[in-house]
Amino acid sequence: MYHNPVMLSESVDGLNINPDGIYVDVTFGGGGHSREILKRLGTYGRLIAFDQDEDALQNTLDDTRFLLLNNNFRYLKNFLKYYKAVPVDGILADLGVSSHQFDKAERGFSTRFESELDMRMNQQQDLSAQRIVNEYNQQQLSEVFWHYGEINNGAQLASGIIKYRSEKEIKTTVDLKEAISRQIDKKNEIKYLAKVFQALRIEANMELDVLKEFLLQALEVLKSQGRLVIISYHSLEDRLVKNFIKSGNFNGEIEKDFFGNTKVPFNLINKKVLIPDESEINENSRARSAKLRIAEKY
């Protein structure tokens, strides 16, 4: 399977689908969420999907109501305007890396394989994890590991990489592990390496910047009472989503007008974040860290 969609029913239920509405799946992947949305659309409904990974194009759906765009969802508003699809009734985002990307060794996303240190979701872009570890200076590397991996010894990690690459270019996942072998917390090696890879992946794909751009545009293109449904997988992206849904900004600070009335963009449909049940986690271990938030635009 290309990708096993997480919390499929819960997320699509959260869209509260109008059969004749316009919906957007900004993380098409294997098409699991899109297929379920199409099942609930009527003859005049529309579904527009985004995926910047060319591999996802092989999963396109043969349906006249469906359009798949091979682009980053940071361009959401421009494409929806181009296809005369504004405003929309609902937007779904299943953030993070697909199972296909993790399982395809040559993509370099996983700590399990020896492969080129790539991690690009869009393989046409220039910046890769390999370039980051070989070209960033020590301060830049340290900041990447601290901000995107929340790694306490990021400075030491960066120092180890600088020293290693002075003698040998870091080309593969194994090279990277060797470069930082002295800095790894051996008691929690798997978790530590996951944080290192996460930090490099986020930097290579500008994931948090892209997420911010997407959220701001989603608020613009949604109609009143339109739904925003987002599944996140780590605290950095979930914090941005939570704060934005709560306040309309990324600090989570609720603004007030001249008369002291609060100004919030969304009504929270699930006051408490939704997580997968044990049966889903047992069937799909990658669902373990998923958090689902659903909001309706005022």
DSSP-derived secondary structure for 64-94: TTEEEE-S-GGGHHHHHHHTT--SEEEEEEE
Domain membership of residue 51 as a residue range: 8-99+207-297
CATH of the domain at 25: 3.40.50.150
| Judgement on whether residues 187 and 214 belong to the same structural domain of the protein | no
pLDDT for 3: 76
Report how far residue 20's alpha carbon sits from residue 8's, in angstroms, rounded to the nearest whole number: 21
User: Which of these three, 189, 205, 221, is where a domain ends?
Assistant: 205
User: Which of these three, 173, 205, 237, is where a domain ends?
Assistant: 205
pLDDT for 108: 67
Element (H, E) at 240: helix 235-247
| Judgement on whether residues 184 and 197 belong to the same structural domain of the protein | yes
Give the pair of three-digit tokens for residue 267: 């009504």
pLDDT digits (tens, 9 = 90+) for 83-128: 999 999 999 999 978 766 766 766 867 777 789 999 999 989 999 9
| Judgement on whether residues 212 and 199 belong to the same structural domain of the protein | no
pLDDT digits (tens, 9 = 90+) for 223-275: 999 999 999 999 999 999 999 999 999 999 998 888 888 889 999 999 999 99
Give the pair of three-digit tokens for residue 41: 């659309």
CATH of the domain at 187: 1.10.150.170
pLDDT for 179: 97
| Judgement on whether residues 150 and 14 belong to the same structural domain of the protein | no
| Judgement on whether residues 229 and 290 belong to the same structural domain of the protein | yes
Q: What does pTM read for this prediction?
A: 0.94
pLDDT for 102: 67
Residue 3 belongs to some domain of the structure: no
Cβ neighbours for 25, distance < 8 A, ≥ 6 positions apart: 33, 34, 37, 47, 48, 49, 50, 92
| Judgement on whether residues 37 and 118 belong to the same structural domain of the protein | no
pLDDT digits (tens, 9 = 90+) for 270-284: 999 999 999 999 999
- Mean pLDDT across the stretch 199-228? 98
| Judgement on whether residues 111 and 200 belong to the same structural domain of the protein | yes
Residue 60 belongs to some domain of the structure: yes
Q: Are 73 and 48 in contact (CB under 8 A)?
A: no
| Judgement on whether residues 169 and 146 belong to the same structural domain of the protein | yes
| Judgement on whether residues 124 and 216 belong to the same structural domain of the protein | no
pLDDT digits (tens, 9 = 90+) for 121-173: 998 999 999 999 999 999 999 999 999 999 999 999 999 999 999 999 999 99
pLDDT for 161: 98
Residue 12 has pLDDT above 90, yes or no: yes
Query: How many folded domains does the chain comprise?
Result: 2
Residue 71 has pLDDT above 70, yes or no: yes
Residue 1 belongs to some domain of the structure: no
| CA 2 to mean position of chain CA atoms | 16
User: Which of these three, 205, 229, 247, is where a domain ends?
Assistant: 205
Q: How confident is the model at residue 1 (pLDDT cuts 50, 70, 90)?
A: low
pLDDT for 240: 98
Q: How confident is the model at residue 78 (pLDDT cuts 50, 70, 90)?
A: very high
Residue 71 belongs to some domain of the structure: yes
| Judgement on whether residues 126 and 186 belong to the same structural domain of the protein | yes
| Judgement on whether residues 88 and 215 belong to the same structural domain of the protein | yes
- Mean pLDDT across the stretch 179-200? 93
- Mean pLDDT across the stretch 28-37? 97
Residue 2 belongs to some domain of the structure: no
| Judgement on whether residues 118 and 257 belong to the same structural domain of the protein | no
Task: Give the burial string for 188-206 (b: 16+ CB within 10 Å, else e).
Answer: eeeebbebbbbbbbbbbbe
